[in-house]
Amino acid sequence: MDLVFAEKALLGLFAAVTLAIVVSKLCGKRFKLPPGPRPVPIFGNWLQVGDDLNHRMLTGMAKRFGDIFHLLMGVRNLVVVSSPELAREVLHAQGVEFGSRTRNVVLDIFTGKGQDMVFTVYGDHWRKMRRIMTVPFFTNKVVQQNREGWEEEIRLLVEELRRNPKAATEGVVIRRRLQLMMYNNMFRIMFDRRFESEEDPLFNKLKAINFERSRLSQSFEFNYGDFIPVLRPFLRGYLNRCREVKERRLRLFHEQFVAERKKMMEEQGSKFELKCAMDHILDAERRGEINYDNVLYIVENINVAALETTLWSIEWGIAELVNHPAIQIKLRRELDTVLGSAQLTEPDLVRLPYLNAVVKETLRLRMAIPLLVPHMNLHDAKLAGFDVPAESKILVNAWWLANNPALWKDPEQFRPERFLQEEAGVEANGNDFRFLPFGVGRRSCPGIVLALPIIGISLGCLVHNFELLPPPGKDRVDMAEKAGQFSLQIMTHSTVVCKPTKLCHRCQKGNNAGRAELPSRAMSPWIPYLHRRVFVRRNCIAVIVLDAGLLLELCLLSTITLRLVTPPGFTSNSKDCETAEE
């Protein structure tokens, strides 16, 4: 930074301080603000509280100032609510008043100042985007159309892990393969496309640029320039980098994915059948409801909102299960009893209460978006008897609502049983204001309909097929948290040992077809017993070829194939079978 620039910045700062004090004295409105630390001019509370406004730090402040408190971060008003009653007020009772979103300087860039859906203010544009996205993304029909794809993706993952000898001994960073699975789950829905392997160059390009987008927007590094506009020139480099990443990313979406579907649509004209989500979105563009930029921002939103959150949750779930072997065993017992050795599918989820409890407990303790996506009031509003100035950023500390010992028994413990005992009936859909992993109300997460089955299928299949263990020499995996602007990720992508269980899913080609013929798999606890005891092989074909020379008169050669038949749906747990298939 040159001296002239520094001099100008300091002069600007001085002028702004003076102006702000004068203006606030002359025409400042008299608000009865919620309690909070006393702000100083220009900086507000920034110097006292710093940049790292994560859920734990804000919980500490709630203990000091109460369930509603106010921070002035430079020029930005921030109101944090930390009780179920106030969450209800913000998200439900005054859902319209507080239904907008704030964007910081970085999100302004990545969303084209709110041309997307997630970060746009509450109004006509948001309503239109949400309506257009609902049919292709957020209905149960989408789940039913795509669930076999998700089941296939996790099956491929399981097969790869079983084939990898390292997985069962040294362990693997399972997250890397899960990431490919998650991309495939979403890109199948969006574009009817998938990536072949972790080495796929396009997958790697996409992953890298999504990572950079996420890193730049989740960092607390740029807060000072966002809070104190006069310091913004110092952010020039950072914001230029954001602009460059955004341009490259949208170009990638356009060139590699959207343009392909658009071309197909144009070429086939009226004969074109809407097949994947993008076709519906492009159809809306063709009808003039949205423009092409909106189309690209929808792809941007899904790449962030759907992929990362779900992946983080699966990763947290695995880590908790590794560190709680007794819970893992109990879960595996449920899966064995209900499914036998058939692969878990989406319709099975309703019959797996303990698995559902594990998913909920993961979302409670390790909430991927612990402060929800920031809300905002467009106009001056009232909350709990206090004034909330227009355009305040409203944070609902959903993590604290779900982890406050005054509201939950032993909340710091990972104990799925709670959702079958004292908290039975509490769902992740917001039927209880203490538990809001997806928010609730107008701006709640519409992706819950996809996220819950994907997490359930993924965790369930992994535990059904593998004993998940810490790497050799360690007795647990690291659970340190990494908080971002509004994310809660696991800090270390741990190595996990995946020791195959006695199941032999690799021997279950056509498993689903076979299962359908089983009478009442879930209701019959003796079926898994039978699997183990009676039927030792399936699809293992023994071929015996007799010497053709001895049977010349019978033409060319004679081959006798002996097939050891197993009734459909019944599979083997035999080790021999595994070796034969290898």
Q: Which chain residues interact with ligand HEM by CB under 6 A?
A: 91, 117-118, 130, 137, 301-302, 305-306, 309-310, 313, 368-369, 372-373, 437-439, 443-447, 450-451
The verdict on whether residue 445 carries a ligand-binding annotation is yes
CB of 306 to ligand HEM, least distance (A): 3
CB of 442 to ligand HEM, least distance (A): 7
> How far is residue 494's CA from residue 480's CA, in Å, rounded to a whole number?
11
> How far is residue 168's CA from residue 162's CA, in Å, rounded to a whole number?
8
Q: Which is nearer to ligand HEM, 107 or 302 (CB)?
A: 302
Q: How many CA atoms lie within 13 A of 228 on its CB side?
A: 23
* CB-nearest residue to ligand HEM: 447
Spatial contact of 154 and 461, defined as CB atoms under 8 Å apart = yes
CB of 287 to ligand HEM, least distance (A): 21
CB of 343 to ligand HEM, least distance (A): 22
Range list of β-strands (E), 63-205: 68-73, 76-81, 100-101
CB of 88 to ligand HEM, least distance (A): 12
Token pair recorded at residue 442 = 């107008």
> How far is residue 511's CA from residue 501's CA, in Å, rounded to a whole number?
17
Task: State whether residue 450 is helix, strand or coil.
Answer: helix
CB of 350 to ligand HEM, least distance (A): 19
**Residues with Cβ < 8 Å from 553, sequence gap 6 or more?**
none
Q: Which is nearer to ligand HEM, 93 or 530 (CB)?
A: 93
> How far is residue 563's CA from residue 573's CA, in Å, rounded to a whole number?
18
> How far is residue 511's CA from residue 524's CA, in Å, rounded to a whole number?
18
What is the pairing mode between strands 393-396 and 76-81? parallel
Q: Which is nearer to ligand HEM, 228 or 359 (CB)?
A: 359
> How far is residue 90's CA from residue 87's CA, in Å, rounded to a whole number?
5
Spatial contact of 372 and 439, defined as CB atoms under 8 Å apart = yes
CB of 97 to ligand HEM, least distance (A): 14
Place of tokens 């930074």: 1
CB of 248 to ligand HEM, least distance (A): 23
Length of the chain: 582
Angle CA 128–130–133, to nearest 5: 105
DSSP one-letter string for 139-163: SHHHHHHHHHHHHHHHHHHHHHHHH
Q: Which is nearer to ligand HEM, 349 or 373 (CB)?
A: 373
3 state SS for 44-62: ECHHHHCCCCCHHHHHHHH
Annotated binding site: 445
- Binding site for heme: which residues? 445
